[in-house]
Structure 1
Amino acid sequence: MKYLAALVIALAAVPATARPQLAITFDDLPAHGPLPAGTTRLAVAQAVIDALKAARVGEVYGFVNGFLTERAPDLPVLELWRAAGLPVGNHGWSHLRLDDVGAAAATVDLDRNEPLVATLAGKTQWHWFRFPFLAEGNDPAMRLAFRHELATRGYRIAGVTMSFGDYLWNPAYARCVAKGDTAAIARLETSYLADAAETATAARTDARSAYGRDTPYVLLMHIGAFDARMLPRLLAQYRRDGFAFTTLAKAESDPVYAADVDPSLPPAASLRERLQAMGKAPAPRTDYAVELATVCT
């Protein structure tokens, strides 16, 4: 109760900013989704890096799954990412779902990934953990047990407050490239940007409804081929829509992320749970999953 009271006081003390702040993060480094014919993992990574640099986004964390480096061509992606000055965090060695394996096995997987992440990171801050599937555990005891392990190791949780399912477009894009269907690819481009814009509006609406203000948002993306293709246009769209880019650490210095920054605290209610407790429904969003699963099949 003391923690909740302190959070309410802290939220009330945060002034509104003129522009909503957005921290961009990428999951599943070094590889995500199918590769369209004629491209490589390195080319995808380089395109992502080039877009981030051209837009002057600044610090962008990439969360690493170590098992992907067992595929020989993929390790250079991580080296390329770090050579560009971009930081890395821990996404677990095997991308395990906590609910499926339990706290003990998830901790072993976390620890297995540490040597790779620490070596890549050098002197940069790598003690950020992103839950695979964003699944923080449905069983309260298991969730608390794993949070304890994170806290003991000095981790902060890289929470997500904006995600438009960008990963859904990558398989559809690969199929359309294989078919040479340029009209379908154009439709994918339109729907990708539309979903990103609708999700951003929904995130802002929900935050204002739950907290009375814009909070800093943390965007989840994936290092896929279609993401690489669309990233310059996506970043330009966010800027046109009024967003200013920030870092993960600055975003999570906001009181709404207090339980992420310090996993020794009890987990906070999610935004959806907070809205439900207030008797409010989350802002509606279009579901593109069924459509994308059938494009170019």
Structure 2
Amino acid sequence: MLVGVATLALATAAQAASKPVIALTWDDLPAHGPLPPGVTRVQIAADLLKAFAAVKAPAFGFVNGVQTEREPDSTPVLTMWRDAGQPLGNHTWSHPNLAQLTPDQFEAEIARNEPLLRAHMGTEDWRWLRYPFLSEGDTPEKRLAVRDWLAANHYRIASVTQSFGDYAFNAPYARCVARNDEAAIAELEKRYLDGAAAVADRARAMSQALYGRDIPYVLLMHAGAFDARMAPRLLKLYLDRGYRFTSLEKAERDPFYKTDRDPSLPPQPTTLEDAMKAKGLPVPPHPVDLAALDGTCR
């Protein structure tokens, strides 16, 4: 669960640097993960939006339109998100992995989502893509073909430079609520916050090792029931660790993200891990053991 000594030393140096900024992004709107008994998608969205408003945090939501057909009761979530002044972008229609599709099939998935986004975003900028599974395909040719399409259709790519696997907590939480296992829920809460803190330190350590500074970070989250429960405490964690909140658009103005802001450019590493590998630097181990969650409340 702990990063190595060298990484911790880098993290200590990072803490002495200027205050970092982080952009919050939320995948799988309007419906992610199983629902605990008595919880609705609308309530999840309301709780998330209340938490964002309390700290004045921008929160970019990424939409899978198929959920409006699978769970029609979740559809108001998109209107709520927009009414709160938060933006929406494209996560493809049904969340497929590009590795299992041709570029044409994947591009059709993106395009199928566009009428829904246009209806909710109007003249505001919705042309941001978050790749499902963060997968740009299984071949360099496929990656470049989709990037060419994105550039031709004026898209930018929503990068990810922090992720602690929040999605993996939502199913165990639903099981624990059904069993009324408060002790297990408390353990999930601790693991969740400890994981977020450790990943934040790890990302800052890598950024310092690479550039001697903090890049603006982009945090990947999911609009699930446990995320909504934990959102106030999670956002406080970042504030307590010196972070300020920013928008996705502002974060990706940093040169680190230039080939995701402009997919027509030859792609460069746009994760900190890949940037470390490209420079021959050791990548610190990921500090969150998600496999340990599988047996919770079984």
Using the size of structure 1 for normalisation, the TM-score is: 0.92
Aligned partner letter, 2:176: C
Residue aligning to 1:234: 234
User: Quick check: 1:282 aligned with 2:283?
Assistant: yes
Residue aligning to 2:155: 155
Structure 2: segments with no counterpart, 5+ residues? 1-15
Aligned partner letter, 2:234: L
The residue correspondences of 1:39-78 to structure 2 (distance < 5 A) are 39-57=39-57, 59-70=58-69, 71-78=71-78
Residue aligning to 1:243: 243
> Partners of 2:280 and 2:54 in 1: how far apart?
43
> Partners of 1:94 and 1:276 in 2: how far apart?
32
The residue correspondences of 1:134-283 to structure 2 (distance < 5 A) are 134-269=134-269, 270-283=271-284
Aligned partner letter, 2:67: L
Give the 3-state SS of the residue equivalent to 2:75 in structure 1.
Answer: helix
Compute the displacement of 1:280 (Å): 1.8
User: Quick check: 1:84 aligned with 2:84?
Assistant: yes
> Partners of 2:46 and 2:205 in 1: how far apart?
34
Compute the displacement of 1:272 (Å): 2.0
User: Quick check: 1:98 aligned with 2:98?
Assistant: yes
Residue aligning to 2:117: 117
> Partners of 2:170 and 2:250 in 1: how far apart?
30
Q: Deviations over 1:36-80 (max 9, x none)?
A: 0011000001000000001111x2110000100102101111111
> Partners of 2:279 and 2:127 in 1: how far apart?
34
Using the size of structure 2 for normalisation, the TM-score is: 0.92
> Partners of 1:214 and 1:153 in 2: how far apart?
31
Compute the displacement of 1:211 (Å): 2.1
Compute the displacement of 1:24 (Å): 0.3
- Given that 2:203 and 2:272 are in contact with CA atoms closer than 8 Å, whether structure 1 keeps it comes out as no
> Partners of 1:278 and 1:181 in 2: how far apart?
46
> Partners of 1:172 and 1:112 in 2: how far apart?
32
Compute the displacement of 1:17 (Å): 7.1
> Partners of 1:17 and 1:266 in 2: how far apart?
31
Give the 3-state SS of the residue equivalent to 1:137 in structure 2.
Answer: coil
Residue aligning to 1:294: 295
> Partners of 2:293 and 2:190 in 1: how far apart?
12
Structure 1: segments with no counterpart, 5+ residues? 1-15
Aligned partner letter, 1:126: W
> Partners of 1:135 and 1:211 in 2: how far apart?
25
Residue aligning to 1:21: 21
Give the 3-state SS of the residue equivalent to 1:26 in structure 2.
Answer: strand
Aligned partner letter, 2:246: T
- Given that 2:164 and 2:288 are in contact with CA atoms closer than 8 Å, whether structure 1 keeps it comes out as no
Q: Deviations over 1:103-156 (max 9, x none)?
A: 110001111110101111112210111101111123111111000110011000
Aligned partner letter, 2:142: M
Residue aligning to 2:5: none
Aligned partner letter, 1:48: L
Aligned partner letter, 1:122: G
Residue aligning to 1:13: none
Aligned Cα RMSD in Å? 1.3
